[in-house]
Amino acid sequence: MEHLLQPVLRLTGFHPQMAEALAETHSMALPMLLEGFNPCLTGSFAVGLALPDSDLDFVCEAHDMGAFEQAVRDAFSDCTDFDCVQKEMRGGPACVATFESPNGYSVELIGQPVPVKQNYAYLRMLVTARLLALAGKEGRDALLKLKKNGVTTDEALAVLFGIDSAPMDTLYAPMAMMDDEELQAFIRFDRMVVDGLV
């Protein structure tokens, strides 16, 4: 799993939330139990934006939804509040499992038939990490303040970076393909918003 996180670690460093999430991940033996599905941590913990109610989010590469669901049930069905359903997500099949880890973290596992590095949640994590690297500590603090006030991560990124050409959830994939120069040209980092929040 850690090799998939290297691009994020290069941008964010090995921050305390990443350490916390990976420790919990290994305490559940999740990488070993789902080894055949290439699990990867994504979401707020991966980029250091987790709040007390944030989930531990994982994406997996699963081309056989039934086999993935059975593996997840075998591994985690004894966990508190376990639920696992197959459904359509972003135009394709998915299997989504939620449960509480032994140490009280809310966990969400999503299996989809795409390589992890092409998964929407993975691309979203990479773009968020790149934007945070451009914004620096003040930008990160401003984003966290917006999140604490109930603004979603997507909404907060759109506000801080002046992204209004389309909804954020439609832009992560194309933004992930941009080099640094193209990304900087695409965004408008709003220093006034940051100064008003930190």
pLDDT score for 169: 83
User: Could you tell me whether strands 40-42 and 56-61 are parallel, antiparallel, or unpaired per DSSP bridges?
Assistant: antiparallel
Question: Structural domain tally of the chain?
Answer: 2
Band the pLDDT of 105: cuts 50, 70, 90.
Answer: very high
Single-letter amino acid, residue 191: R
pLDDT score for 66: 96
Instruction: Give yes or no: residues 13 and 55 share one domain.
Output: yes
pLDDT score for 122: 94
Q: How many Å separate Cα 148 from the centre of its chain?
A: 17
Q: Say yes or no to pLDDT of 155 above 60.
A: yes
**Residue 34 belongs to a domain with what CATH number?**
3.30.460.10
Over the stretch 108-147, which tens digit does the pLDDT of each residue have?
Answer: 999 999 999 999 999 999 999 999 988 888 888 888 999 9
Query: For all residues of the chain together, what is the average pLDDT?
Result: 89
3-state secondary structure of 160: helix
Instruction: Give yes or no: residues 11 and 107 share one domain.
Output: yes
Instruction: Give yes or no: residues 185 and 103 share one domain.
Output: no
Buried b (16+ CB within 10 A) or exposed e, 116-132: beebbbbbbbbbbbbbb
pLDDT score for 9: 79
Q: Say yes or no to pLDDT of 1 above 80.
A: no
Q: Which residues contact 136 (CB under 8 A, 6 or more apart)?
A: none
Over the stretch 41-55, which tens digit does the pLDDT of each residue have?
Answer: 999 999 999 999 999
Percentage of the chain exceeding pLDDT 70: 94
Among 115, 149, 168, which residue terminates a domain? 115
Instruction: Give yes or no: residues 104 and 127 share one domain.
Output: no
Instruction: Give yes or no: residues 101 and 131 share one domain.
Output: no
Q: Which residues contact 51 (CB under 8 A, 6 or more apart)?
A: 44, 144, 147, 148
- Average pLDDT of the segment spanning 98-108: 95
Query: What range defines the domain where residue 138 resides?
Result: 122-197
Instruction: Give yes or no: residues 82 and 99 share one domain.
Output: yes
